[in-house]
Amino acid sequence: MQRHKSAQKQARKAVKNRERNRRNASILSTAVKRVREEKNKEKAEVALNAAYKTLDRLSDKGIIHKNNAARQKSQLKKLVSALQPSA
């Protein structure tokens, strides 16, 4: 157990920050996973737009670096562009 008030407060903050970071990581990985798993081009484009929105929101908040978001968006767009349109 922490002895100082400041250490106790920092421990409380660490718990909240850890929960927030895990939640954001989960939201991001789910959005990316939905794009990668989709085989239908039209549905993949819908999922891609949702992933773009998530990536932009997290990079605006500073949770991920803007270049990281740009790189992931580029990779996902390349993946969706390579899909064949369904007949």
pLDDT digits (tens, 9 = 90+) for 1-51: 889 999 999 999 999 999 999 999 999 999 999 999 999 999 999 999 999
Q: What are the tokens at 77?
A: 């767009």
CB 38 within 8 A of CB 44: yes
CB 72 within 8 A of CB 55: yes
pLDDT at 77 over 70: yes
For residue 34, the tally of other CB atoms under 10 A from its CB is 17
Question: How high is the pLDDT of residue 85?
Answer: 81
Angstrom distance (rounded) from CA 57 to CA 47: 15
Question: How high is the pLDDT of residue 71?
Answer: 98
Question: How high is the pLDDT of residue 87?
Answer: 56
Domains and CATH numbers, the chain: 5-81 (1.20.58.110)
Q: What is the pTM of this model?
A: 0.83
